[in-house]
Structure 1
């Protein structure tokens, strides 16, 4: 069941849960995620970053769209961290139902202007738009890295003005997370009181980037307090490829099903855990 971001997140916003947005660059990971979503009876967001789309090709996106139409669970296909207008136009033409325009490194007024322009373009064809205010940090271990390793926290009053002036459907906020897997000795602490203040000012669904490798209890609490979309890339990919490395210790394996099926099973465990953690499991019934 393919839908845009506005529709898939409306139920999450009304019922205080979050939907995981999994970065999905290969058909094997796609298979595992769809299977996990169906088993959990959970809505889900398939994210494909511009770099991932360049690697996988537009034919891969067509297969994602086909799988979304075939499954009984709600699925949104989202471009993650689009930074240029040509990327947004390409995403819309290819069949994404939601796009992110990340102008968070620009001055406030310029960020608003860019997001407003993308909203005018995307909304005309039923595609949702995500913007970002503040800067998510990075551990320098992920393709989604921003221009800085430092976090520039989202100001609640600025968030209210940004949403009103830009017209975005969802807003990514910076409350303490970073992209990538955290190195040993470094663990984020989410500013949940800041999140509460932002949610009081902003009625639309909020997004948390850098959702991997954070404390389960903080992520679960954030999903109850107003975060409705949580981006997860590294956790799923790490589970898949760590298992792949283990399987390939056997030098005689060469058939794809022998190599990849255990990897898919391992990453499905991570996805199923995220559905439970974020309160997404069983929520597909809200869309029927």
Structure 2
């Protein structure tokens, strides 16, 4: 079916008091697994490409984006494309022609006023070109001469009043908040600050996003959605599934050289992870 938009999927999820899952993709096998898992769960999904993934692919966005768009158009469920953690304005400006409906613009490394100015400029450009835009706010730096604290650093938390001002002044459509998750976790041991999430949900009138969700246990994810999270980002969980399947395959078949064998089991493992995650989130069915 035709590409849908991230904004539409998030709006649907919010109305259903659930969350849409947004999976980071790196290879074609990631793309195929996310779509297959979403079809298995009869659930819409977002395919997201990070700036790091673009860098891995030699700085070229279009090959992976075109593959993702083609897979989305052949999918039996609605699929949207999202450009994730963009810091390079030149990459941001490629989003529309590459088929993306949304972008996460990441200036959280900058002091507050610079972060706000850069995000406001990105929002103005994005909205003028029909893009839904997400930003991220952790612990704001610049207070008492302190530098910014990355939103996924241990102990980082988003302050509700700072978040309210940032959303109002930047005009973003959604905000990723720091409530205890972290990127690249390989164990599901994160404990979220649900009291803070409740305060953030009450303070803000835009959808809230949880990054680093691979490290969050199912019960914590369910509680986070009940507390106001409407978009959940997942990446490392797919890579754990992919890498584990390949390791097991090659351990049993040390003579194997044809990549189709181990990529098949890797894709199947990621598909199962996607389907299980979508069922846990209780996202609206397609």
* TM-score normalised by L of structure 1: 0.88
Maintained 8 Å contact 1:61/1:94: yes
Change (3 A) 1:135 1:27: farther
> Which whole-Å CA distance do the structure 1 matches of 2:6 and 2:168 have between them?
18
1:143 corresponding residue in structure 2: none
- Is 1:241 the counterpart of 2:243 in the alignment? yes
Using the TM superposition, give the Cα deviation of residue 85 of structure 1 relative to its aligned residue in structure 2, in angstroms: 1.4
Consecutive aligned runs of 4 or more in structure 1 exceeding 6 Å deviation: none
SS where residue 93 of structure 2 aligns?
Answer: helix
The answer for unaligned runs of 5 or more in structure 1 is 137-145
1:277 corresponding residue in structure 2: 280
Using the TM superposition, give the Cα deviation of residue 202 of structure 1 relative to its aligned residue in structure 2, in angstroms: 1.0
1:2-151 alignment, distance < 5 Å: 2-56=3-57, 57=60, 58-134=62-138, 146=150, 149-151=153-155
* Matching residue within 254, 268, 271 for 2:271: 268
Maintained 8 Å contact 2:152/2:180: no
Q: Which deviates further from its counterpart, 12-21 or 254-263?
A: 254-263
> Which whole-Å CA distance do the structure 2 matches of 1:86 and 1:165 have between them?
23
SS where residue 110 of structure 2 aligns?
Answer: coil
> Which whole-Å CA distance do the structure 2 matches of 1:182 and 1:253 have between them?
27
Q: Deviations over 1:91-113 (max 9, x none)?
A: 33322221111111223232222
Using the TM superposition, give the Cα deviation of residue 148 of structure 1 relative to its aligned residue in structure 2, in angstroms: 7.2
> Which whole-Å CA distance do the structure 1 matches of 2:130 and 2:74 have between them?
20
Q: Deviations over 1:255-279 (max 9, x none)?
A: 3332211111111121111101111
Using the TM superposition, give the Cα deviation of residue 182 of structure 1 relative to its aligned residue in structure 2, in angstroms: 4.7
The answer for unaligned runs of 5 or more in structure 2 is 141-149
2:160 corresponding residue in structure 1: 156
Change (3 A) 1:277 1:50: same
Maintained 8 Å contact 1:38/1:73: yes
> Which whole-Å CA distance do the structure 2 matches of 1:222 and 1:187 have between them?
14
> Which whole-Å CA distance do the structure 1 matches of 2:268 and 2:74 have between them?
21
RMSD, aligned CA: 2.1
- Is 1:257 the counterpart of 2:252 in the alignment? no
* TM-score normalised by L of structure 2: 0.89
> Which whole-Å CA distance do the structure 2 matches of 1:235 and 1:157 have between them?
32
- Is 1:228 the counterpart of 2:230 in the alignment? yes
Q: Deviations over 1:137-161 (max 9, x none)?
A: xxxxxxxxx5974342111122122
Maintained 8 Å contact 2:34/2:271: yes
Q: Deviations over 1:214-233 (max 9, x none)?
A: 22101111012211111111
